[in-house]
Amino acid sequence: MTLDVTYLRGSVAGVLSVLQHAACPENVVFHFIASHRRSDLLRTITSTFPYQTFHLYHFNTDLVRDLLPMSVRRIVYFDSDLIVVDDVAKLWNIKLAYAAALRGRRACYFNTGVMVIDLGKWREGKYTEKLEYWMKVQKKYRIYELGSLPPFLLVFAGDVEGVEHRWNQHGLGGDNLEGLCRDLHPGPVSLLHWSGKGKPWLRLDSKRPCPLDSLWAPYDLYRHSTLFCDS
């Protein structure tokens, strides 16, 4: 997960949801990436979940290749606007397809809010350098919008394997124009993702929640504490 003040409330809710539904929560290790050195962010997380293992890395474009130690071979990346309602180990343990199986696929869109990444293959393929290339092009020429998503689409194109849709029921934040409420897609649900304009904590605070925001609310530790007062 990334970690910043704006999304801290969502990050804490996401962590709580992972732990509550994990069969072995003591085996879950969280890695956070922050754009600034904010010891208060890590302090908030560790004081909220004192028995859990957390690591906080400072994002620096010159050191991005070395953010995670070599001993970490696989990660599950989560955005900060989601909750997990299933055992995350099931997602972590999925069998990943590799280049030979994906060859010849047409380029396609994918949502980067939930990703299972084999870091060994990532390092072998030098994907960080490839992403950095497009970031440098963007900085110079402004060739795309939508933040961090386009570089991933440009680098991976069709070279991704989709996980079961149950693991990313995205779009619950509504459309990016008006933020209208959306329903769940058909089928089982293991993860709810409020991608889009509307975030559940903002809608709950404004007293104008969407129906599905009630599923996020039980994980909102902010409502019952002064957890974020100093952030």
126-158 tens-digit pLDDT: 998 999 899 999 999 999 887 788 999 999 877
Q: Is residue 19 part of a domain?
A: yes
What's the CA gap between 60 and 65, in Å, rounded?
9
Q: Is residue 119 part of a domain?
A: yes
Condensed to tens digits (0 to 9), the pLDDT of residues 64-119 reads 556 788 899 999 999 999 999 999 999 999 988 765 444 556 777 888 999 999 99
Q: Is residue 2 part of a domain?
A: no
Residue 3 · residue 67 · CB < 8 Å: no
Beta-strand pair 74-78/114-118: antiparallel
The total of structural domains in the chain comes to 1
Q: What is the CATH number of the domain that holds 203?
A: 3.90.550.10
Q: Is residue 69 part of a domain?
A: yes
What is the model's pLDDT at position 161? 85
Q: Which of 81, 73, 47 is nearest to 213 (CA)?
A: 81
Round the average pLDDT of the chain to a whole number and report it: 87
Looking at the whole model, is its pTM more than 0.85? yes
- Residue 177's domain comprises 8-224
What's the CA gap between 118 and 193, in Å, rounded?
22
Q: Is residue 46 part of a domain?
A: yes
What's the CA gap between 3 and 188, in Å, rounded?
29
What's the CA gap between 199 and 75, in Å, rounded?
25
Rounded to 5 degrees, φ, ψ at 73 are: -100, -25
Q: Is residue 229 part of a domain?
A: no
Ramachandran bin of 183, using left for φ above 0, alpha for ψ from -120 to 50, beta for the remaining angles = beta
Q: Is residue 3 part of a domain?
A: no
Q: Is residue 23 part of a domain?
A: yes
Condensed to tens digits (0 to 9), the pLDDT of residues 23-34 reads 999 999 999 988
